[in-house]
Copies of this chain bind each other. A is one copy, B any other.
Amino acid sequence: MSSNKQNEIALAAVKLFEQKGYRATSVQDIADAVGLQKGSLYHYIASKEDLLMQIAHQAILQFNEQLEEILAKEDTARGKLEQMIRTHLIMSIDNLETTTVLWREAFSLGEGPQEVIQGMTDKYLNLVADILRSGTETGEFNVTHPRITALAILGACNWVYRWYHPSGTLTAEEIADIFSKLFLDGLLAH
């Protein structure tokens, strides 16, 4: 088993799942994309669902690992939130096809794998809610409903997979600045 070939297969699958959707992509499509016979492809993958799980799991794992790195550093709640928004948007934008597959296609996974992905998504959400909670305790933030507020922030960040185009004029960093300003200061002129 060549791990290069496995990477190639995963990359081809991401592209196909993003373009056609997971259900509309056949194992034959994936085999064609990497120049293998369908039978040979099964030397590298267990099933199409297994590939989807691998892609979704890797993506959500990376989101969680990045956030844990941010949380491990000494910083204010505000600093941690700004870092979270920045890395979340950069990760989403730098891996637009993967995040599209994660957010749009993972519901096609069977119950078990789907629960794993949902569990990791919930864990991420809880960590963001904790930033808001501890920031409110220290007096930095004024948040009455940390979980719902975290869902609002993450919804805004995740939605980027639907509208970001590399041809746009703003970088991921600039979008992160606009988002941070919105969430920290609000819209109202003071």
Contact = CB atoms under 8 A, between A and B. Distances in A.
A152 interface: yes
Query: A-side binding surface: helix, strand, loop or mixed?
Result: helix
B152 A107 contact: no
A185 interface: yes
Interface string A159-190: 11011000000100001001101111111111
Contacts of A15: none
Nearest to A139: B189
A187 B132 contact: yes
B155 A160 contact: yes
Contacts of A185: 142, 186, 188
Contacts of A108: 21, 24
A143 B21 contact: no
A93 interface: no
Contact of A144 (B149, B152, B159, B178): B178
Given A21-B107, A103-B162, 15 more contacts: A24-B108, A104-B107, A141-B187, A141-B189, A144-B181, A145-B170, A149-B182, A149-B187, A151-B160, A152-B182, A183-B186, A183-B187, A184-B186, A185-B186, A186-B186
Of all A-B residue pairs in the complex, the 9 with the closest CB atoms, nearest first, are A155-B159, A186-B186, A23-B23, A152-B156, A142-B189, A155-B156, A156-B156, A185-B186, A141-B187
